[in-house]
């Protein structure tokens, strides 16, 4: 690959940027994005209002989700707590609309015979931001690395990785 001179790089960058009264702005896609009119309408709503001048040095071509609106890092000290009996691991936690925390964890039965080895999945809840936990269900499911998703209507979806023959 031929090496580009600094002048060529600067010209390309200047070609991509325009100086406005408020500062630098990156040229953005003006055509509808998506194969169908429904896709184009949805994507136009997702891309509308993006502040391209906020990060002028980040000319990456990334056209994904607007991370300016969804990433708000806040650091706090972590508190470790045991939920349920010893042996629970690979927990997943979600917060419900009413503020309750719901956690699911799996536990190995440590059977030596692989045909009988199972990872039971247990569900717990906390009504006091995680200070105290109560088991609310032992599911009939077996699997590792359970994951919870809260749907917009409040339903929970539990998924897990299949293990052995369970």
pLDDT at 127: 94
Whether the Cβ atoms of residue 118 and residue 163 lie closer than 8 Å to each other: yes
Please give the pLDDT value at position 31: 58
Same domain, 95 and 47: no
Query: Which residues share a beta bridge with 149?
Result: 157
At 36 the pLDDT is: 81
Shared domain check, 95 and 40: no
pLDDT, residue 84, reads: 82
Using DSSP's 3-state secondary structure scheme, residue 8 falls into helix
Quick one: 147 and 101 in the same domain? Answer: yes
| Same domain, yes or no: 67 and 102 | no
Per residue in 135-156, pLDDT tens? 998 888 888 889 999 999 989 9
Does residue 83 sit within a domain? Answer: no
Distance CA 138, CA 84 (A): 11
pLDDT of res. 3: 62
**Residue closest to 46 by CA, chosen among 65, 59, 27, 62:** 65
For residue 20, what are the β-bridge partners? 23
In the chain, which residues have pLDDT < 70? 1-33, 45-74, 78-79, 164-166
> Is 32 part of a structural domain of the chain?
yes
In the numeric block, the tokens 């440590």 are attached to 110
Predicted pLDDT at 39? 76
**Which run of H or of E encompasses 76?**
none
What range does the domain containing 64 cover? 1-72
Q: Number of structural domains, the chain?
A: 2
Asked, for residue 77, whether it belongs to a domain, the answer is: no
Retrieve residue 8's tokens.
């060529």
pTM of the complete model:
0.52
């Amino acid at each position: 690959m031929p090496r580009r001179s600094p002048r060529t790089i600067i010209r390309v960058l200047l070609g991509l940027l325009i100086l406005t009264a408020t500062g630098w702005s990156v040229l953005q896609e003006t055509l509808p994005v998506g194969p169908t009119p429904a896709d184009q309408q949805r994507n136009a709503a997702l891309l509308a209002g993006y502040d391209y001048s906020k990060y002028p040095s980040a000319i990456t071509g990334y056209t994904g989700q607007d991370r300016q609106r969804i990433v708000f890092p806040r650091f706090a000290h972590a508190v470790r707590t045991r939920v349920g009996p010893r042996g629970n691991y690979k927990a997943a936690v979600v917060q419900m609309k009413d503020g309750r925390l719901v956690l699911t964890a799996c536990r190995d039965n440590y059977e030596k015979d692989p045909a009988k080895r199972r990872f039971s999945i247990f569900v717990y809840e906390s009504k006091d931001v995680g200070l105290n936990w109560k088991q609310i269900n032992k599911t009939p499911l077996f699997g590792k690395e359970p994951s919870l998703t809260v749907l917009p209507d409040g339903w929970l979806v539990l998924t897990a990785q299949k293990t052995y023959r369970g």
